[in-house]
């Protein structure tokens, strides 16, 4: 059954075909899996949600929303190690053999997509079919955590990063306006896993016991591997229309890289799209901060021009539009911007 689903996944338009990125993620998975590396087939899937899964036939999915959220290689290793832990302990096979879980799969899939905010998107539903068909028991999750930490330590990764992954994700969920205090009601990941505080404490304690003498996080290597793809993933994140979560994510990423012009620009976009009271000024501040950075994207000048234009600051708008066209003369919207300049709008 999973072989058939894997064949569908290989044909999916959501599959990321970039060889360097796939090779990089595969190397991390193999470093963790050791002798079981030949069993694994890792697929990177473009969708802005946080998810990774591993089926009992060796098919592993890693979603780009997860890759965007990781701070370093060790954090990705924590998630992959956890999924490999499920595989080694044969948890997913147990779930497949449980007739009750199969009959309840449709209900589980609906819960998973609702928690992810996916609604009735059919293509995403197909991906979730292959990625989310296993709702593990909490003891299974605890065991996968223990195995994953051991795999991390054996591979030379800093195991404390595992607890930080879940702390970061919980922080995002708490930032949404409709936060109820129950993470399980917002994310299927928290619904099936042990309580967040309990889990983080257990991960911290176990990490302290098994941390290798020469542990690494792989921060620089991770950023270099993700850099060619981050722009598209940041755009995907904005399209989720979860402004609280998105702003929390972008603000955290900026804390890690405060001079990143691209991130400042996307923070401004998130404020602009939310359009709450005071967000226009927040967006303007973010765009201006982006423009000061060495890697400021050309688009920041277009966004500044639009804001200045709305505020009636025509001279500033014109200057911003000129800077945009100078930096990106072949832009798809160049004719429209030239019209603004011609008409003095």
Check whether residue 167 and residue 267 sit in a common domain: no
Of 75, 62, 86, the closest CA to residue 166 belongs to 75
> Which DSSP helix (H) or strand (E) runs through 53?
strand 52-54
Check whether residue 71 and residue 199 sit in a common domain: yes
User: Is residue 185 included in any domain, yes or no?
Assistant: yes
Q: What is the pLDDT of residue 335?
A: 93
Final residue of a structural domain among 178, 210, 242: 210
Helix (H, G, I), strand (E, B) or coil at 265: helix
Check whether residue 33 and residue 156 sit in a common domain: yes
User: Is residue 191 included in any domain, yes or no?
Assistant: yes
Q: What is the pLDDT of residue 295?
A: 92
pTM of the model: 0.85
- Give the model confidence (pLDDT) of 120-151 as tens digits: 344 555 555 555 555 566 788 888 899 999 99
User: Is residue 241 included in any domain, yes or no?
Assistant: yes
Q: Residue 289 contacts by C-beta under 8 Å, 6 or more apart in sequence? A: 261, 264
User: Is residue 254 included in any domain, yes or no?
Assistant: yes
Per-residue exposure over 302-312, b if at least 16 CB sit within 10 Å of its own CB, e if not: bbbbbbbbeee
Q: What is the pLDDT of residue 141?
A: 85
Check whether residue 242 and residue 274 sit in a common domain: yes
Check whether residue 195 and residue 98 sit in a common domain: yes
Check whether residue 106 and residue 251 sit in a common domain: no
User: Is residue 219 included in any domain, yes or no?
Assistant: no
User: Is residue 182 included in any domain, yes or no?
Assistant: yes
Helix (H, G, I), strand (E, B) or coil at 41: strand
Check whether residue 181 and residue 307 sit in a common domain: no
How would you write 90-101 as a 3-class SS string? CHHHHHHHCHHH
Check whether residue 180 and residue 106 sit in a common domain: yes
Angstrom distance (rounded) from CA 13 to CA 17:
10
Check whether residue 124 and residue 194 sit in a common domain: yes
Q: What is the pLDDT of residue 95?
A: 67
Check whether residue 256 and residue 318 sit in a common domain: yes
Helix (H, G, I), strand (E, B) or coil at 54: strand
Show the low-confidence residues of the chain (pLDDT under 70). Answer: 91-92, 94-137, 178-196, 344-345
Helix and strand numbers, DSSP H then E, in the chain: 19, 3
What is the residue range of 22's domain? 2-210
Structurally, the chain folds into a number of domains equal to 2
């Amino acid at each position: 059954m999973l072989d058939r689903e894997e064949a569908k996944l290989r044909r999916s338009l959501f599959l990321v075909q970039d060889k360097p990125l796939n090779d990089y993620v595969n190397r991390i998975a193999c470093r963790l899996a050791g002798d079981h590396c030949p069993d694994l087939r890792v697929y990177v899937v473009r969708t802005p949600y946080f998810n990774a899964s591993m089926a009992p036939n060796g098919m592993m999915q890693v979603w780009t929303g997860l890759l965007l959220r990781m701070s370093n290689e060790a954090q990705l290793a924590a998630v992959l190690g956890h999924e490999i832990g499920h595989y080694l302990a044969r948890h997913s096979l147990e779930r497949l053999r449980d007739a009750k879980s199969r009959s309840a799969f449709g209900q589980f899939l609906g819960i998973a997509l609702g928690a992810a905010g996916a609604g009735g998107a059919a293509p995403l539903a197909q991906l979730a079919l292959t990625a989310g068909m296993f709702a593990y028991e909490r003891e299974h999750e605890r065991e996968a955590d223990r195995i994953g930490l051991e795999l991390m330590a054996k591979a030379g990764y800093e195991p404390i990063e595992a607890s930080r992954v879940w702390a970061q994700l919980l922080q995002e969920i708490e930032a949404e306006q409709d936060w109820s205090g129950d993470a399980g009601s917002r994310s299927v990941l928290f619904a099936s896993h042990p309580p967040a505080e309990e889990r983080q404490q257990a991960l911290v304690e176990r990490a302290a016991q098994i941390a290798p003498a020469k542990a690494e996080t792989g921060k620089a290597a991770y950023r270099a591997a993700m850099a060619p793809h981050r722009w598209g993933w940041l755009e995907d994140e904005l399209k989720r229309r979860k402004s609280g979560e998105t702003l929390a994510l972008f603000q955290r990423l900026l804390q890690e890289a405060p001079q990143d012009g691209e991130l400042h620009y996307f923070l401004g976009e998130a404020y602009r799209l939310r359009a709450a009271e005071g967000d226009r000024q927040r967006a303007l501040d973010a765009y201006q901060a982006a423009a000061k950075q060495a890697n400021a994207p050309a688009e920041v000048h277009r966004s500044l021009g639009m804001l200045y234009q709305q505020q009636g600051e025509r001279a500033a708008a014109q200057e911003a539009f000129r800077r945009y066209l100078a930096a990106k003369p072949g832009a798809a919207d160049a004719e429209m911007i030239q019209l603004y300049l011609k008409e003095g709008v």
